[in-house]
A and B are shown apart, each in its own frame.
Chain A
Amino acid sequence: MRHLEDLLSALLDGELASDDRTDVAAHLRACDGCRLELADLAVARTALRSLPLLELPAALVVSRDDAVVVPLRRRPSVWAASAAAAMVLVGLTATGGEPAPAADIDTLAEQHTARVVVDPGFATIRMTVEE
């Protein structure tokens, strides 16, 4: 009799079709080895799912009501920005010769006006978005 192998993980994940579930249940009733393996798999699965969900670092938090941080690569020497304008274009030499990305505020929310503060030390642009 063929053992269940990866059908056991699929069973734990609710990824089996109903016909397969019936067959798997029948096999499990008869096979100690597959029952033990199912228990082992459940331990690993539970261990992974018990890992704490980490908080997003404050520098990456995006909120309409608060500050918006536009992520950029940490390449502060190659970009230039105008903090006075309502739109900021950031040119940077991306690794691998990719075109320089433009960070313009209108893609964030057209109806918003934005006050922009450039923080070159962290190579991100912090914008306070006002409703």
Chain B
Amino acid sequence: MPEDGRVPTWEEVARRYGRTIYNFAYRLTGNAHDAHDLTQEVLLRVRRGLEQYTPGSFEGWLWRITRNAFLDDVRRQKRRPTVSLPEGDHVDAGAAPPPDEVLATVRLGEDVQAALLELPYDFREAVVMCDIVGLSYDEIAEAVGVPVGTVRSRIHRGRKMLRERLS
């Protein structure tokens, strides 16, 4: 976070990580409504937690909060079935029709999202943290609280399952 090593303000965290948290949440839940609520919840927890945060691995701290918020929500709601909405959620409805190659990309994205939602949680989380958020294996291990070898195995198995579902 800040290069001088101080604890970031909530505003800085929200500005810098809000979009990434939202994308993490969207890829885990598969819909914009849950992703919105989860992002709100994470930012609220960050806001409360920053007072206790001591400078260290900020990424590990932030993503631990994020995954815990998601898991708490799953436990609380026994999560309703995840239905993948088209990413048209985020497209201006009045925009001109997209060209074929854009449609093909969107469809591929929907296939990937649907396949992602079929993965067991541990594997889905691992590949999303690695390939969507861009965390290192060490950062994922810290956020999830498992050894790096476990992270490597989960990413590997998650990708293999995903590849099979995309065939």
Write the residues of chain A forming the contact surface with B, with a CB cutoff of 8 angstroms. 5-6, 8-10, 13, 15, 40-41, 43-45, 47-57, 59-64, 68, 70-74, 95-96, 101, 103, 107-109, 124
Contact = CB atoms under 8 A, between A and B. Distances in A.
Nearest to A96: B76
Contact of B44 (A10, A57, A61, A72): A72
Interface string B20-35: 0011001100001000
Contact of A57 (B15, B22, B112, B152): B22
A59 B15 CA distance: 13
B133 to A, nearest CB: 11
B162 interface: yes
A51 B152 CA distance: 21
B9 interface: yes
Given A49-B131, A51-B132, A62 B14 contact: yes
B48 interface: yes
A10 B152 contact: yes
Given A9-B155, A56-B22, A107-B10, A43 B166 contact: yes
A13 B116 CA distance: 19
Contacts of B130: 13
Contacts of A45: 131, 159
B36 A54 contact: no
A73 B39 CA distance: 11
